[in-house]
Amino acid sequence: MDSNSNLENNLGLEGPTNPMVSPLLTDLYQFTMAYAYWKAGKHLDKAVFDLFFRKNPFRGEYTVFAGLEECIRFAATFKFKEEEIAFLHTILPPTCEEGFFDYLRGINCSDLEIYAIPEGSVVFPKIPLIRVEGPIAVVQLLETPFVNLVNYASLVTTNAARHRRVAGSSKILLEFGLRRAQGPDGGISASKYCYLGGFDATSNVDAGRRFGIPLRGTHSHAFVSSFMGPDEITDRALPRSDGTGVCEDFVILTQHWLSKLQASDSLRGTFSETSHSEMAAFISYALAFPTNFQALVDTYDVMRSGLPNFCAVSLALDELGYKAHGIRLDSGDLAYLSTQAREFFRGIEKEFGVPDFGKMPITASNDINEETLDALNKQGHEVDAFGIGTHLVTCFAQPALGCVFKLVEINGQPRMKLSEDVSKVSIPCKKRCYRLYGKDGYPLVDIMTGENEEPPKERERILCRHPFNESKRAYVVPQRVEELYKCYWSGISGKQRESLPTLNEIRERCLRHLAEMRPDHMRELNPTPYKVSVSAKLYDFIHFLWLNEAPVGELQ
Amino acid sequence: MDSNSNLENNLGLEGPTNPMVSPLLTDLYQFTMAYAYWKAGKHLDKAVFDLFFRKNPFRGEYTVFAGLEECIRFAATFKFKEEEIAFLHTILPPTCEEGFFDYLRGINCSDLEIYAIPEGSVVFPKIPLIRVEGPIAVVQLLETPFVNLVNYASLVTTNAARHRRVAGSSKILLEFGLRRAQGPDGGISASKYCYLGGFDATSNVDAGRRFGIPLRGTHSHAFVSSFMGPDEITDRALPRSDGTGVCEDFVILTQHWLSKLQASDSLRGTFSETSHSEMAAFISYALAFPTNFQALVDTYDVMRSGLPNFCAVSLALDELGYKAHGIRLDSGDLAYLSTQAREFFRGIEKEFGVPDFGKMPITASNDINEETLDALNKQGHEVDAFGIGTHLVTCFAQPALGCVFKLVEINGQPRMKLSEDVSKVSIPCKKRCYRLYGKDGYPLVDIMTGENEEPPKERERILCRHPFNESKRAYVVPQRVEELYKCYWSGISGKQRESLPTLNEIRERCLRHLAEMRPDHMRELNPTPYKVSVSAKLYDFIHFLWLNEAPVGELQ
């Protein structure tokens, strides 16, 4: 059945962002299993798989779910190319029958249904993020790409949300991680998902183009040291911002302002001679971007060179009707330097009567992470915007999330993965999941039930049980009940499915969800775990099945 | 000048592996700087940039350089598309002049020269890995993609090399990381570079297709639990391996062997009833892959179910002339279980006279990293092959390498980046680098000299100085001198350039280099730092320049 192009056209979905995500981007064992299922005549058995994680990252108690759109786009366009089949031919043993390759040629996701929690939701361990139902061989082929597409996306979104929380909502957060990301795609997805998790902009031009994320950036240290001095600036004219005239020599104007600063009472003694190379670079940058002048001020010495040079150029620009955009600090004691810079700016506002000069925006970068943000907050600082790279995009504090994809039902029979480690036991059955809200509007507990159980009702008492610890249970009277799953893919069955929201809509959901959580679940130090539970019926069933399947030990 | 397609054709180079690597995959500030250079008439200034890192990763004292081929392929095909120019138009201020976009339309890497240490070499901090020379605006545009392409590649290759070193050369190492990698491309490059660093195979089918890396994989826990019991197996016939007949009921044959094992003297008491679901899965897998039967034995209980089931199927296969390929353990105490399994296999070899059954290959996976490998070695184990995922591909122990790209010369003038932190000071000048070998054949020290200095000579004494610590210096009489840079890109100048080696050639270089190093540099605990030095002349010049550029402090 070749209904794939139909699927695509009807739903208007393109493939995944990265064209390298193909049906071959998976583990070999998905194909050896597919062959074994096919050979056993079992490939059409109807399976239900849950995608979930077992532990929140970053020693926190929450996770933001991301990556769903990429999974759905992958499923929507899943189809083997002839050259892919040819490659599979070369890697499977020659004993494999030709019919299997014909079978692969024909498959797509038209017999699948995919239910998921909306992307951008705050989610918790054990609760399946995605439930995939369909012929077992096809569903297994999706395992590796789905887990790959969700793991890093959710991890880095969560990391961004955590950085936002520590930085506070009033700060501008810029993602600067492309050069340190784990590969080009790590960079592109990092930019997308950091924006989703609450960042304001990125330095990654291609991510700006692909996803409409605001872009930010000025210049590097190399730009500064590529200049020898103002003598090399030949074209020195700069029109006034209102077009009423032209300053014929912006270099002279700037040098004039530098002398004024050197002679000023309030700034006297903070600096003497500044770097000529840096001054030339700043002037050149201002001549190129008079409306967007922002300067990196730490190439030589922030207080003795960068800051006075920046202020001289800014004051010259101001005289011509332009407003400078601020400084970036990329080394040293950011709390101290930002405070000193603020004082310097305020001194100038006062002495030279330049309105708002004291509010000059200060951006800080250089190995910033959750802890340095927290330390800066405790010390006090005057930074308005943070550029964050390495720690953010590589998720330095914990570079992997452990999403797994487990079989929970086959042909209507519940299945569970046993393990001596209780945290690794999976919860069987095709399930429904609900979020129960308390009186004060906060989410109280998530609960999983069997597919056919009555849903929890608002203002009706329900018993919520820990899935594996019999003593942990509580009655809850939810003020609001939210069913977590929506149908995001229903093959060609015609069943109503959710349309995929835009990145900005997902971002808004994420920010709303984060804001709605009870603060003690969200704090950095010793956060309270959010409760995840099962219904009484599901609890009994899990433990019946467990006893049934686990071998009885013999002590010897 | 549109000589780009010529370049490509002449050199036969394709673009980077990931089609998402484009001239827009860079930081915005590269474009704002390019505009400022262009506006200042400085864009053609001849710059020399060094790409290097400052600290070896993983608390080690060596790094493997990787990612060069991708950089060269990027440079060879670097060219803006019209839609990329159109996008840049929308993000740069409207004050930017049209001539700049025309300039961008025309640029490629035909005026650049790129020198580098060969990919796969063992390298050290401060020594530039790549030196790029050419018009400053173009060279800056390469910064972000080059650093991105080298950082993760070198990091994960080094991580693979470290895992190989701890595991020992006799073990089979399998990269199983795709599902946990940081995005799809993280997965594909991880597979490539882990192979480069000494792994034997990957589970990633697409990496196998792209790079010719051997593929490995069998089945998952879901495969096991998707079966209810042997009753559901309908097609039970299996031909003998030599084609001399057919076993009509392989299920019965296996059950017969299971009874024999249950009744055996040597194995008595180790198990009673095994899982039917698991037995059905193993039989089905063997029927599908009689020549490649390998089984995951820990879905229920390794000793009480997985191992006896595996052995029953293997003995049945053996009776038909097939040889099983071994087991995989994915949980529990891998040292203990592998030892128990080995004993079980040996018991069977002895009791049933099956040659080599005791040597049945044992593969182990489950959160393996350098430390667990080391702990397994210390405890003693019987594992023949390790499947390593999360820790390997995400470089969990240190998920980022800090490669930087610094301006060292412009228009023939040496430049250096100062910093209050000596480790961040860059070494100015266009340089040459050499590796000096001692009497015993080990590399002794790397030395950087000015471009025009006499190269060090074999058996002639030379003074090697620490670049920043005046008291650290030593005379060396090298037995062999190796110049580290080769020319990998020379635009259209026609200068002889190195052809790019194949992945297997790079891998061989890497393994040879690793083997050549003095063992104390390579050990995990407190390794000896390898020495990196500058010539006496370069030392003097650095310190002359430093004093010249650094502002003199004033204590107040």
SS3 of B269-334: CCCCCCCHHHHHHHHHHHHHCCCCCEEECCCCCHHHHHHHHHHHHHHHHHHCCCCCCEEEECCCCH
What is the arrangement of strands in the sheet containing A362-364, beginning at the earlier edge strand?
A: A201-202, A172-175, A385-388, A362-364, A326-329, A294-296
Pairwise CB contact (< 8 Å): A181 & B148: yes
> Nearest CA to B156 among B346, B481, B394?
B394
Please give the pLDDT value at position A492. Answer: 72
pLDDT for A332-379, tens place per residue? 999 999 999 999 999 999 999 999 999 999 999 999 999 999 999 999
The DSSP call for residue A304 is I
Q: CA-nearest residue of chain A to B225?
A: A415
Compute how many other C-beta atoms are within 10 angstroms of the C-beta atom of residue B93. Answer: 12
Q: How far apart are CA A442 and CA A262, in angstroms?
A: 57
Q: How far apart are CA A402 and CA B241, in angstroms?
A: 41
Compute how many other C-beta atoms are within 10 angstroms of the C-beta atom of residue B309. Answer: 29
> How many interface pairs between A and B have CB atoms less than 8 angstroms apart?
393
> Given a cut of 90, is residue A426 above it in pLDDT?
no
Q: CA-nearest residue of chain A to B87?
A: A209
Residues from chain A contacting residue B159 (CB–CB below 8 Å): none
Q: Is B294 on the interface with A (CB under 8 A)?
A: no
In a mutagenesis test of the B interface, which of A38, A43, A71, A185 is the best target, namely the one with the most B β-carbons within 10 Å?
A: A185
pLDDT for A385-423, tens place per residue? 999 999 999 999 999 999 999 999 999 999 987 776 777
Pairwise CB contact (< 8 Å): A182 & B399: yes
Q: How far apart are CA B64 and CA B48, in angstroms?
A: 23
**Token pair listed for B385:** 């092959």
Q: How far apart are CA A480 and CA B401, in angstroms?
A: 48
Please give the pLDDT value at position A459. Answer: 96
Pairwise CB contact (< 8 Å): B218 & A32: yes
| pLDDT, mean of residues B75-102 | 96
Please give the pLDDT value at position A11. Answer: 60
Residues from chain A contacting residue B285 (CB–CB below 8 Å): 32, 36
**Min Cα–Cα distance to chain B from A408, Å:** 9
Pairwise CB contact (< 8 Å): B418 & A299: yes
Q: How far apart are CA B485 and CA B130, in angstroms?
A: 8
SS3 of A506-524: HHHHHHHHHHHCCHHHHCC
> Given a cut of 70, is residue B268 above it in pLDDT?
no
Pairwise CB contact (< 8 Å): B221 & A406: yes
Pairwise CB contact (< 8 Å): A406 & B234: no
Same fold, A28-161+398-549 and A218-370: no
Selecting from A36, A179, A273 the residue whose C-beta is nearest the C-beta of B151 gives A179
pLDDT for B487-513, tens place per residue? 999 987 777 889 999 999 999 999 999
Please give the pLDDT value at position B209. Answer: 96
For chain A, how far is it from start to end, CA to CA, in angstroms?
A: 57
| pLDDT, mean of residues A532-541 | 96
pLDDT for B183-196, tens place per residue? 887 788 999 999 99
Tell me the CB-side half-sphere exposure of residue B207, using CA atoms within 13 A. Answer: 31
> Given a cut of 80, is residue A270 above it in pLDDT?
no
> Nearest CA to B392 among B164, B207, B156?
B156
> Nearest CA to A29 among B456, B296, B489?
B296
**Min Cα–Cα distance to chain A from B111, Å:** 19
Domain segments of chain B as ranges: 28-161+398-549, 218-370
Return residues 329-358 of B near A (CB < 8 Å).
331-332
Pairwise CB contact (< 8 Å): B151 & A180: yes
The rounded percent of chain A whose pLDDT value lies above 90 is: 88
| pLDDT, mean of residues A112-117 | 97
Return residues 228-247 of A near B (CB < 8 Å).
228, 232-235
> Given a cut of 60, is residue B2 above it in pLDDT?
no
**Min Cα–Cα distance to chain A from B145, Å:** 7
Q: Is A187 on the interface with B (CB under 8 A)?
A: yes
Pairwise CB contact (< 8 Å): A27 & B178: yes
> Given a cut of 60, is residue A105 above it in pLDDT?
yes
Q: What is the CATH number of domain A28-161+398-549?
A: 3.20.140.10
Pairwise CB contact (< 8 Å): A184 & B140: no
Tell me the CB-side half-sphere exposure of residue B501, using CA atoms within 13 A. Answer: 18
Residues from chain B contacting residue A95 (CB–CB below 8 Å): 289-291
Please give the pLDDT value at position A384. Answer: 98
Element (H, E) at B173: strand B172-175
DSSP A21-49: --TTSSBHHHHHHHHHHHHTT-TT-EEEE
Pairwise CB contact (< 8 Å): A217 & B185: no
Q: Is B26 on the interface with A (CB under 8 A)?
A: yes
> Nearest CA to A490 among A176, A59, A221, A116?
A116
Please give the pLDDT value at position A420. Answer: 66
Q: How far apart are CA B318 and CA B264, in angstroms?
A: 18
Q: Is B288 on the interface with A (CB under 8 A)?
A: yes
Please give the pLDDT value at position A269. Answer: 67
Which residues does B440 contact at the CB level (< 8 Å), separation at least 6?
none
Q: How far apart are CA A383 and CA A330, in angstroms?
A: 12
Which residues does A429 contact at the CB level (< 8 Å), separation at least 6?
A408, A409, A414, A450, A451, A538, A541
| Average pLDDT taken over every residue of chain A | 93
> Given a cut of 60, is residue B9 above it in pLDDT?
no
User: Bridge partners of B201?
Assistant: B174
With beta carbons less than 8 A apart as the criterion, state whether B184 and A151 touch.
no
Pairwise CB contact (< 8 Å): B305 & A551: yes
Q: Is A388 on the interface with B (CB under 8 A)?
A: no
Q: CA-nearest residue of chain A to B86?
A: A209
pLDDT for B150-177, tens place per residue? 999 999 999 999 999 999 999 999 999 9
| pLDDT, mean of residues B332-343 | 96
Please give the pLDDT value at position A3. Answer: 45
Please give the pLDDT value at position A10. Answer: 46
| pLDDT, mean of residues A65-77 | 96
Which residue has tokens 């992307």?
A119
Taking the model in full, what pTM does it have?
0.96
Q: Is B394 on the interface with A (CB under 8 A)?
A: yes
With beta carbons less than 8 A apart as the criterion, state whether B128 and B51 touch.
yes
With beta carbons less than 8 A apart as the criterion, state whether B450 and B431 touch.
yes
pLDDT confidence band for B235 (50 / 70 / 90): very high
SS3 of A338-389: HHHHHHHHHHHHHHHCCCCHHHCCEEECCCCCHHHHHHHHHHCCCCCEEEEC
Q: How far apart are CA A292 and CA A233, in angstroms?
A: 19
Return residues 502-531 of B near A (CB < 8 Å).
none
Please give the pLDDT value at position A422. Answer: 76
In a mutagenesis test of the A interface, which of B29, B136, B333 is the best target, namely the one with the most A β-carbons within 10 Å?
A: B29
pLDDT for A461-491, tens place per residue? 999 999 998 899 999 999 999 999 999 999 8
Pairwise CB contact (< 8 Å): B182 & A395: yes
pLDDT confidence band for B555 (50 / 70 / 90): low
Which residue has tokens 């997805």?
A189
**Token pair listed for B420:** 């209050």
Compute how many other C-beta atoms are within 10 angstroms of the C-beta atom of residue A103. Answer: 15
In A380-521, at which residue ranges do the beta strands (DSSP E only) sit? 385-388, 404-410, 413-414, 431-437, 443-450, 462-465, 473-476, 480-483, 486-489
Return residues 122-161 of A near B (CB < 8 Å).
136, 140, 143-145, 147-149, 151-153, 156
Residues from chain A contacting residue B22 (CB–CB below 8 Å): 206
- By residue count, chain B amounts to 556
With beta carbons less than 8 A apart as the criterion, state whether A422 and A379 touch.
no
Q: Is B412 on the interface with A (CB under 8 A)?
A: no
Residues from chain A contacting residue B178 (CB–CB below 8 Å): 25-27, 144, 148
**Min Cα–Cα distance to chain A from B427, Å:** 13
Collapsing DSSP to helix, strand or coil, B241 comes out as coil
**Token pair listed for A431:** 């399930």
Q: What is the CATH number of domain B218-370?
A: 3.20.20
Collapsing DSSP to helix, strand or coil, A58 comes out as coil
In a mutagenesis test of the A interface, which of B54, B155, B225 is the best target, namely the one with the most A β-carbons within 10 Å?
A: B225
Element (H, E) at A103: helix A98-106
| pLDDT, mean of residues B96-110 | 97
